[in-house]
Structure 1
């Protein structure tokens, strides 16, 4: 029997991955710090989001996870009783400052503990899959970011400590016995968003954090014009959860010599298109502006406040990203109709009252 073990199974990617594997008929063990009730609810929501029967959750086995404890606090003999694929999706995702220590504890030390636990207990021919981010490239993004192991870089070469922590985790992984034995796969994801066909999103991170901030100001002071600093060719690699999970399953269907893959779209979303769709659904006018334009005409008070509130996510509008990718790993591009579904669903259904 081949078992699928997923840590961070209550998270956005982890819960949808568990749902897709259950629907495929796999034996799934969900590891999470959250309670069994919470994990089952999250996976049930993911099953419904992906169009599967919610009763499939009855087959899910849930076990507690502690990234800072020996053997992750697991009943290791049970979890690793059979040959498995171990999915390391657990991570702290935050762009806010002064959380460097927590990011280090979860994303670097915790990841190392997950790998060490796998190496101690996993049966022969088991595989370890580390879910990374394409944005671990930091500010070193001139030309296509290659699909290979990263080099060490100081913290000031990253937009935030989250990116730095994900880079450090990959570097530690690259030096492991599992990599030398060819048992590791590292899919680097783009900006995770909701379902490509319905727009439904079970997350408040990334794009949705930005939408939440814009909606707050749009509803409070409708009709205002807001400039945001943007690269002239600013773009985002938005990757819907349904097509991303599908690509992850296809990537792991066979052994591959190269361990690192960018699971990003070949076609990106220009930020100007994102702003146009947001403007159509919220009473606000977002305008991309170059630093030179802002220097020539500084922000008014309202613009300054909005930019301050959005700065941790809007910093991604100030760059153009180009990632090496292969057809076998690339989900379909997010078209304008898909982008409209993603934004409109969140405006109608996802925003707080």
Structure 2
């Protein structure tokens, strides 16, 4: 019987992973912050299960254990928790900020807490077979092009999140060399909603930052927009259901490689940036074209999306051949098509066919309007 210790179960990827594990009969121990009655975690997992069309109602009662955890007291908390049954760890929780002002916090969270969790599990969970760390494919840096499934000795980083994820990979590699517990670095590309239901957390991160900003432009009463992107680059989008399928296949594989692994959880490239701009705009009910921002609203839009703008101006091709071999996949993953991306954006905007700009978060309106 598998029992997975998971962090970040109230977030988008973490809740989806927890729901998928439970749906497959896997016992889950969720380490959750600021959740003394467990309801925040339970609600997140049930929401994710509904979004992924999974029935976990009975499993939540029988197979989900939630430990309210202050990471500053991680070792003490886990010392009083029965970890003998834990067979795998999925460390998903992270500091997501791009800001250089959050560098100290991000180092302590993404590097320090990851190392502490590894060392604590190494000591207290003798039957644990593997430590899975959810990183990001963009530790590859900003060169673009083909990227192999391997550690990168050096990469050009442009934000705190990238930098600290790269540091965490190096730290865990060193720990894996020194200890008996193997490590898998699991690197998703740009994670988007469920391929079929389109469910996603409406948090304005990553890919959806552009949709939020377009909706805010529409809410501000503007109908035309110049967007400073290049026409050709294609984003590597991986749906959350593909991510969960890959993660579960790795966890439940019959033979463990018993060594340090690096995998790209990539979805492939299909839709060029020029078409993405058209999709985001049409979903918001405005017109948009590629060009330099000149008006006040265009400049505000440009500032609102600047954190992720550079990642849409470059095309990466993330190799996932090692992941496919490890999970026994014979056919390549099919990239999301234009109509699927449009459906994802429409669901996020909470509209079947017409934009409801009243649902745009106030923070996005403040940024753009």
TM-score of the alignment, normalized to the shorter chain, above 0.5: yes
Structure 2 counterpart of 1:27: 27
What RMSD in Å do the two structures reach over aligned CA positions? 2.2
Aligned ranges for residues 60-79 of structure 1 at < 5 Å? 60-71=64-75, 73-76=76-79, 78-79=81-82
Q: Distance in 1 between matches of 2:142 and 2:260?
A: 24
Aligned ranges for residues 129-148 of structure 1 at < 5 Å? 129-141=132-144, 143-148=145-150
- Greater shift, 82-91 or 121-130, is seen at 121-130
1:315 matches 2:310: yes
**2:122–2:181 Cα contact (<8 Å) kept:** no
Residue 53 of structure 1, CA deviation = 2.0
Structure 2 counterpart of 1:191: 190
CA offsets per residue over residues 290-324 of structure 1, 9 Å max, x none? xxxx4xxx623332121012211222122121222
Residue 54 of structure 1, CA deviation = 4.6
Q: Distance in 2 between matches of 1:176 and 1:16?
A: 28
Structure 1 counterpart of 2:366: none
**2:5–2:86 Cα contact (<8 Å) kept:** no
Which of residues 84, 93, 98 in structure 2 aligns to 1:90? 93
Which of residues 266, 269, 272 in structure 2 aligns to 1:270? 272
Specify whether residues 178 and 64 from structure 1 end up closer, same or farther in structure 2 by C-alpha distance, changes over 3 A only.
farther
Q: Distance in 2 between matches of 1:28 and 1:301?
A: 50
- Structure 1 residues not aligned, in runs of 5+: none
- Matched residue count: 340
Residue 262 of structure 1, CA deviation = 0.4
Q: Distance in 1 between matches of 2:19 and 2:214?
A: 32
1:3 matches 2:3: yes
Residue 215 of structure 1, CA deviation = 0.7
Specify whether residues 284 and 159 from structure 1 end up closer, same or farther in structure 2 by C-alpha distance, changes over 3 A only.
farther
**1:239–1:331 Cα contact (<8 Å) kept:** no
Specify whether residues 53 and 124 from structure 1 end up closer, same or farther in structure 2 by C-alpha distance, changes over 3 A only.
closer
**2:210–2:280 Cα contact (<8 Å) kept:** no
Structure 1 counterpart of 2:354: none
Structure 2 counterpart of 1:171: 170
Residue 29 of structure 1, CA deviation = 0.6
Structure 2 counterpart of 1:304: 299
- Greater shift, 317-326 or 328-337, is seen at 328-337
| Large movers: runs of 4+ above 2 Å | 65-70, 73-79, 94-97, 177-182, 266-269, 283-289, 298-302, 327-332, 349-353
Q: Distance in 1 between matches of 2:303 and 2:248?
A: 39
- Structure 2 residues not aligned, in runs of 5+: 352-358, 363-369
